[in-house]
Amino acid sequence: MSDILGVTLAAVLTVATSVAASAAEPIALRDMGSFHVGGRLVEISGKPVKEITFAPGGVPAKIDPNGTKQNVPRWTTNDDATLAAYIAEIDRVCPCVILFHSQAGTFGFKAAQARPDKVKALIAVEPAGVGDPAKFEALKRSPRS
């Protein structure tokens, strides 16, 4: 029993020492940045400034809708633009694995179907849609490594 305890203790100390040594070294970030894909600029003018309370009892905030759109609402009328953005991102950063959830299911599957040679795998978490059933076979030819 003491031999097992000794070996276990030695293994724990070895791992702890290794972890401590690794933690002492700083993490070096090679690069950092951001980019946008898809979308378009829309200029709004002539709309009134609104005062909105986001939560009951909260402090009202003035919202000026005029200017150029930093947010894109999820409407069914912009599905083509959203899918084009997904595909543009795949073209820019892949080969890759795509992770998506819920409403993004349709876009994730359709984007992978459009670029099966660039998508290595899909991780679909509770997808609300599965893409184009007529193009489902395209996903079978996705690279595996």
Q: How many helices (H) and strands (E) does the chain have?
A: 3, 4
Percent of all residues in the chain with a pLDDT value above 70, rounded to a whole number: 75
Number of domains in the chain: 1
pLDDT of residue 145: 47
DSSP helix/strand/coil, 133: helix
Q: What is the pLDDT of residue 142?
A: 61
For residue 103, tell me if it sits in a domain. yes
Domain annotation covers residue 109: yes
Note whether residue 31 is domain-resident: no
20 occurs within a structural domain: no
Per-residue model confidence (pLDDT) at position 88: 93
Helix (H, G, I), strand (E, B) or coil at 73: coil
Q: What pLDDT is stored for residue 107 in this prediction? A: 92
**Higher-pLDDT residue of 13, 70:** 70
Domain residue limits at 134: 37-141
Flag whether 5 is in a domain: no
92 inside domain: yes
Q: Decide if 27 is inside a domain.
A: no
Q: Is the overall model pTM greater than 0.95, yes or no?
A: no
- The tens digit of pLDDT for each residue in 81-135 reads 889 999 999 999 999 999 999 988 999 999 999 999 999 999 999 998 888 889 8
Q: What is the pLDDT of residues 45-80, one digit of tens each?
A: 999 998 988 777 888 888 888 888 666 566 667 888
Question: For residues 30-55, b (16+ Cβ closer than 10 Å) or e, as one string?
Answer: eeeeeeeeeeeeeeeeeeeeeeeeee
- 72 in a structural domain: yes
